[in-house]
Amino acid sequence: MCLNKCMGILLKNISTLLTLQGAAAKSGRHIKEEDLGILHQASVIMDKDKIAWVGPHKKLPKEWAKKKGLRELDMKGKTVLPGFVECHTHLIFAGDRAAEFEMRNQGVSYQEIAAKGGGILSTMKETRSSSLKDLVATGQKRVDHFLSQGVTTLEVKSGYALNLKDEIKVLQAVQALKGPRTVSTFLGAHALPPEYKSYEEYLTFLSEKVLPVVAKKKLARRVDVFIEKGFFPVEASERYLRRAQELGFEVLIHADQMSLSGGSDVAVRIGALSGDHLLQVEEKEIRNLAKSEVTGVLLPTADLYTKTKYPPARAMIDAGVRVALATDFNPGTSPTQDLNLVGLLARLEMKMSLPEVIAAYTVGAAHALNLHKEVGSIEVGKSADIIGIDQGWSCLFYSVGEAAEKVVFSRGKKVFDFLN
């Protein structure tokens, strides 16, 4: 903390501040409106990349107000809240799958398209033949779009290259992205590439030849696998994830998306950070998730695009599951980066309350990334990841296609301002 000379910034004239402190204290479970930690006429002090003080402006300690070098920034009555945490994206890919979308819309199933070499494998071909430079260039545009919506922490998965050389290239592209804090995840186990005959054989290759390289080069600290009928089988996937844990990776699972295929059970058994999708889970799975530290990452835009049901969020939340929301941005099942649409579907289709949606996109998602001690709420010592909007908080996740005018600070620096 700066005690004598200060490099900090005082954000003042905040009409309403949502600290999310209560939601953080409850680890993102059973969220009510009072857990948003609403303060009026508030101020925040950012000292370098951290939050140094937060509270009602009239309680600002005199020693802070007098601090030499403390810059003041008039927030002009904005609503201020923690930066959003977007905890599930497949943002690095080449090409699109618009033609496949039309086929699905005319009645061909996702699995049928995948079995004929379309789906993930068609994106694989384009991603393999794309250069690192091109992947970074398109990736950065997408990152900037997330940033303009207030995303200050962004997870990005590999998984559209499916060989050693190009998966490394994709993870290097993730490392080159600028703006928000990024978290990269190795999803080599996304689909079976044509070079391998069986999922087991491919998982052995990933365990023996790829994971050690990813670990050594520190290209990702998380490993994900798509457990699903017609994709990666339960037992071999569990062995693979345990091997990843031995190598020091955190693990998570694309689980129970298209069928109840056992992914969330594995997540609970092995202590995964999250189980993602989960629309097929039933009472037993919900009970087990609620007792665990696994965060349920819910991805309703994928459910919209694949025209399936939505996850039983109400039952999950009421049972005590911690949930997060994310876009699942990818060219196949969720070709959208729109946080508002995600939140809107959560409210309309999954019966989540607005405080639950806000907490899911901050505290819940921070837990899914194991970053809850650093991000997700505005508290002293946490990262100065803050957004200001020219609307009341009740207007969040309400209007699609109309982004609120925002100012975004990431680690204490202004990274986006709608005026500039």
Q: Interface with ligand NIG by CB under 6 A: which residues?
A: 90, 119-120, 123, 226, 254, 257, 302, 328, 330-333
**Torsion-angle region of 72 (φ positive above 0: left; ψ -120 to 50: alpha; else: beta):** beta
Q: Which does 226 bind (CB under 5 to 8 A by kind): ligand NIG, Fe ion, none?
A: ligand NIG
- Pick 43 or 264: Cβ nearer Fe ion: 264
CB 143 within 8 A of CB 178: yes
CA distance 353 to 49: 32
> What residues contact residue 292 under an 8 Å CB cut-off, 6+ apart?
267, 268, 271
Which lies closer to Fe ion via its Cβ, residue 143 or residue 298?
Answer: 298
312 binds, among ligand NIG, Fe ion, none (CB under 5 to 8 A by kind): none
Give 51 or 323: the residue with its C-beta nearer to ligand NIG. Answer: 323
**Residue 333 binds which of Fe ion, ligand NIG, none (CB < 5-8 A, kind-dependent):** ligand NIG
Residue 120 interacts, among ligand NIG, Fe ion, none and using kind-specific CB cut-offs from 5 to 8 Å, with ligand NIG
Cα–Cα distance for residue pair 21/319, rounded to 1 Å? 22
Interaction partner, residue 362 (ligand NIG, Fe ion, none; CB < 5-8 Å by kind): none
27 vs 163 by CB, closer to ligand NIG: 163
Name which of 39 and 323 has its Cβ closer to ligand NIG: 323
Q: Which of 399, 330, 382 is closest to 83 using CA atoms?
A: 382
Q: Which is nearer to ligand NIG, 36 or 345 (CB)?
A: 345
**Bridge-partner residues for 324, per DSSP?**
297
Query: Residue 257 binds which entry of Fe ion, ligand NIG, none, with Cβ cut-offs from 5 to 8 Å by kind?
Result: ligand NIG
Q: For the packed helices 263-270 and 283-291, what is the interaxial angle rounded to 10 degrees?
A: 20
Q: Which two tokens stand for residue 237?
A: 């996937």
- Shortest distance (Å) from residue 295 CB to Fe ion: 15
222 binds, among Fe ion, ligand NIG, none (CB under 5 to 8 A by kind): none
In sequence order, which residues have a C-beta less than 8 Å from that of residue 75 and are 6 or more positions away?
A: 11, 12, 13, 14, 388, 407
Kindly compute the dihedral angle of the four CA atoms of residues 122, 128, 129, 130, in this order, to the nearest 10 degrees. 100
Estimate the share of the chain in helix, then strand, then coil, as percent rounded to the nearest 5.
40, 25, 40
Residue 280 tokens, joined = 């097929």
**Torsion angle of the four alpha carbons 215, 216, 217, 222, in this order, in degrees rounded to the nearest 10:** 10
Determine, following the binding rule CB under 5 A, whether residue 238 of this chain makes contact with Fe ion.
Answer: no
Q: Which is nearer to ligand NIG, 20 or 326 (CB)?
A: 326
Query: At closest approach, how far in Å is the CB of 82 from ligand NIG?
Result: 25
Q: For residue 391, give both structure tokens.
A: 């609307």
Return the residue nearest ligand NIG (CB atom). Answer: 332
Number of residues that bind Fe ion (CB under 5 A): 1
| Residue among 108 and 380 whose Cβ is closer to ligand NIG | 108
* CB of 275 vs ligand NIG, minimal distance in Å: 12
Nearest distance in Å: CB 88, Fe ion = 6
Question: Do 241 and 264 touch, CB atoms closer than 8 A?
Answer: no
Q: Please state the closest distance from residue 328 (CB atom) to Fe ion, in A.
A: 4
* Part of the chain binding Fe ion (CB under 5 A), chosen from 1-9, 129-137, 325-333, 363-371: 325-333
Query: How far lies 349's CA from each of 166, 181, 346, 365, in Å?
Result: 38, 30, 6, 20
100 binds Fe ion (CB under 5 A): no
- Comparing CB distances to ligand NIG, the nearer of 328 and 356 is 328
Calpha distance 410→395 (Å, rounded)? 23
| Residue 23 site contact among ligand NIG, Fe ion, none (CB < 5 to 8 Å, cut-off depends on kind) | none
- At its nearest, how many Å lie between Fe ion and the CB of residue 221? 18
User: Under the criterion CB under 5 A, does residue 328 sit at the interface with Fe ion?
Assistant: yes
Q: Which does 412 bind (CB under 5 to 8 A by kind): ligand NIG, Fe ion, none?
A: none
Q: Which of ligand NIG, Fe ion, none binds 332 (CB below 5-8 Å, type-dependent)?
A: ligand NIG
**What angle, 0 to 180 degrees and rounded to 10, lies between the N-to-C axes of helices 164-176 and 120-128?**
80
What phi-psi label fits residue 353: left (phi over 0), alpha (psi between -120 and 50 degrees) or beta? beta
Q: What is the CA radius of gyration of the chain?
A: 21
Looking at the Cβ atoms of 88 and 169, the one nearer to Fe ion is: 88
Residues in touch with Fe ion (CB under 5 A): 328
